[in-house]
Amino acid sequence: MAGVLADPALHRFIGGTPYTPDALTARYRRLVAGSPDPEVIWLNWVLRLREDSRLTGTVQATLSAAHGTAEIAWVVGTPWQGRGIAKEAAVALVAWLTAYPVRSITAHIHPDHHASAAVARAAGLAPTPERQDGEIRWACAGRAGGTGGSGREHEETIQAL
């Protein structure tokens, strides 16, 4: 993934600088270990192209059991942008999350990141007046009781990207 996320231009809207391979490995170890807060669940996936399984990006959700919320994010490496990968992943993730008791789904998007705004809109989120660290909070209602399903109907799409 270090190669996928290596373009400094990719960080224009998401902040920071590209991780070194060692730093990214350490970050992924922390993510796999899970949140130190037992009320918070971290869900993280890498995105792969269907045709050749090449890594292209990530999608993630942070679930808060105490608040019934899910905050989602996505990033697609520069060479694969504009191909609908983020849109497909975000739409599948939001659909998957509706199987769980999540009252709201949010994403925070830089006001000038029009491509990410289009992804959020396609996933059913809408901009709110709220700002956090200069980013616009996008939100949609989840389903307080979930759909009763397992969410598995969307796992193949999420995993196959």
Centroid of chain to Cα 45: 8
Residue 149 confidence (pLDDT): 45
Amino acid present at 28: Y
**Which regions of the chain does DSSP assign to beta strands (E)?**
40-48, 55-64, 69-76, 102-109, 126-132, 135-143
At 102, give phi and psi (nearest 5°).
-110, 120
Q: Give dist(CA 10, CA 77) in Å, integer.
A: 7
Q: How far is CA 56 from the centre of its chain?
A: 13
Global pTM value: 0.86
Asked if 142 and 105 touch (Cβ cutoff 8 Å), the reply is yes
13 in a structural domain:
no
Could you report the per-residue pLDDT of 38-82, keeping only the tens digit for each?
Answer: 999 999 999 999 999 999 999 999 999 888 899 999 999 999 999
For β-strands 69-76 and 102-109, DSSP reports them as parallel
Range of the domain at 59: 37-160
Tokens 């196959």 — which residue?
Answer: 160
76-122: pLDDT as tens digits: 999 999 999 999 999 999 999 988 788 999 999 999 999 999 999 99
User: Residue 161: which of 7, 28, 57 has the closest Cα?
Assistant: 57
Q: What is the CATH number of the domain that holds 128?
A: 3.40.630.30
Question: Within a domain: residue 80?
Answer: yes
Can you give the pLDDT at residue 98?
85
In a domain, 104, yes or no: yes
Residue 32 lies inside a defined structural domain of this protein = no
pLDDT at 104: 94
Cα separation, 5 vs 35, whole angstroms: 23
Residue 102, Cβ density class (10 Å: 0-12 exposed, 13-18 middle, ≥19 buried)? buried
- Has residue 70 been placed in a domain? yes
Whether the predicted pLDDT of 147 surpasses 50: no
72 in any annotated domain: yes
- Residue 123 falls within a domain, yes or no? yes
